[in-house]
């Protein structure tokens, strides 16, 4: 499972460099080849576009993709005659299935593409959508967990250390947020911020800090009476210095375990919001959006894999982070190491 996590992270980082469809958002729609089965091979007449399209550098292409330099025309047959190339268009009926292009007028090439996971109903490459969707899921996890850690660790540590009215106020706020169903709170924040890529990161992060705050508060309460904390007070260290330099390093393992679990929750939440249509917005691919667009095929059976494949990807990625949290917990467990 950890190998799978490393593999997903690698392909998400490389992104458009390894996707069969390297256009932005892997959104090249060719309706003539919609719903192609896995491992389908399609021949194209690739005609160079007339407009000037700037070729991007290595890093820019990896992050944002490269607009296609060619117009892809799916064909079933082609032949040369005199100064023209004649083609039979794929999935067109006679006499509309033939076209010709002057050799002196267009710059073209004949290419064959293999669609390893087939195409969806818009003629997009499913494998490319899956790879870029992995980038979205991992990005949501990292950014939202980072936001949740900043808020949760600070409030939990401050409340657990100072206790009294400060702790009461923080616990009241935690309990209020805790009482609201997470998905409903994320939806409300999403509506307030607007649907979009970065907005969904913030919305999920602002709802996941409660678990971290409660755990950190409990750990800080148990450590604030320890001898090393009393010694730090006696030496004149300030309260915030004691919290962040002496107490928090002793509960890093616990925080990492909770963060790993929250990472898995963030991926599920993003997929759920995208499935509902209020998460990452098209044309940006998301595993949740892929399920939404294709879940109707599950009843038809023939193209059920279009919804099942991203569902399995979500399940495996969430399982990997849960196992990672358990492994880290076992490694950092002082009782077991003895």
Ranges of each domain in the chain:
40-115, 127-337
- Mean pLDDT, all residues of the chain: 85
Average pLDDT over residues 14-21: 90
Count of other CB atoms within 10 angstroms of residue 175? 11
The DSSP annotation for 137-190 comes to HHHHHHHHHHHHHHHHHHHHHHHHHH-HHHHHHHHHHHHHHHHS-HHHHHHHHH
Average pLDDT over residues 102-113: 80
123: left (phi > 0), else alpha (psi -120 to 50), else beta?
Answer: left
Reported as a single tens digit per residue, the pLDDT across 225-245 is 888 888 887 887 788 888 888
- Give CA–CA dist 269/261, Å, rounded: 12
Name which residue leads in pLDDT, 325 or 212: 212
Where residue 96 falls among pLDDT bands split at 50, 70, 90?
low
User: pTM surpassing 0.75?
Assistant: yes
Where residue 336 falls among pLDDT bands split at 50, 70, 90?
very low
- The CATH homologous superfamily for domain 127-337 is MetI-like (1.10.3720.10)
Q: Is 22 exposed, middle or buried (0-12, 13-18, 19+ CB in 10 A)?
A: buried
- Give CA–CA dist 121/30, Å, rounded: 9
């Amino acid at each position: 499972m950890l190998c799978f996590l490393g593999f997903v992270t690698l392909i998400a980082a490389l992104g458009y460099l390894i996707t069969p469809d390297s256009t932005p958002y892997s959104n090249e729609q060719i309706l003539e080849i919609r719903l192609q089965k896995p491992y389908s091979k399609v021949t194209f007449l690739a005609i160079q576009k007339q407009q000037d399209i700037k070729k991007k550098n290595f890093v820019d292409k990896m992050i944002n993709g490269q607009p296609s330099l060619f117009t892809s025309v799916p064909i079933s047959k082609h032949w040369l005659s005199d100064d023209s190339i004649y083609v039979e268009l794929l999935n067109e009926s006679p006499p509309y299935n033939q076209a010709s292009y002057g050799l002196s007028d267009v710059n073209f090439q004949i290419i064959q593409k293999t669609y390893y996971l087939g195409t969806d109903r818009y003629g997009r490459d499913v494998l490319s959508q899956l790879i870029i969707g992995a980038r979205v899921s991992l990005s949501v996890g990292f950014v939202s967990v980072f936001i949740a850690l900043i808020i949760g660790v600070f409030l939990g540590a401050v409340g657990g250390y100072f206790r009294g009215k400060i702790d009461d106020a923080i616990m009241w706020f935690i309990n209020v947020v805790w009482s609201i169903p997470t998905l409903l709170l994320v939806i409300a924040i999403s509506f307030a911020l607007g649907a979009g890529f970065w907005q969904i990161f913030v919305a999920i992060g602002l709802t996941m800090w409660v678990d971290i705050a409660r755990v950190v508060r409990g750990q800080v309460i148990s450590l604030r009476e320890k001898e090393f904390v009393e010694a730090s007070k006696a030496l004149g260290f300030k309260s915030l210095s004691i919290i962040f330099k002496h107490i928090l390093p002793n509960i890093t393992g616990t925080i990492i375990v909770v963060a790993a679990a929250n990472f898995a929750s963030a991926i599920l939440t993003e997929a759920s919001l995208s499935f509902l249509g209020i998460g990452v917005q098209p044309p940006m691919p998301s595993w949740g959006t892929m399920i939404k667009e294709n879940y109707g095929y599950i009843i038809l059976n023939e193209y059920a894999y279009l919804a099942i494949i991203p569902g399995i990807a979500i399940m495996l990625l969430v399982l990997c982070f849960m196992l990672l949290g358990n492994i880290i917990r076992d490694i950092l467990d002082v009782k077991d190491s003895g």
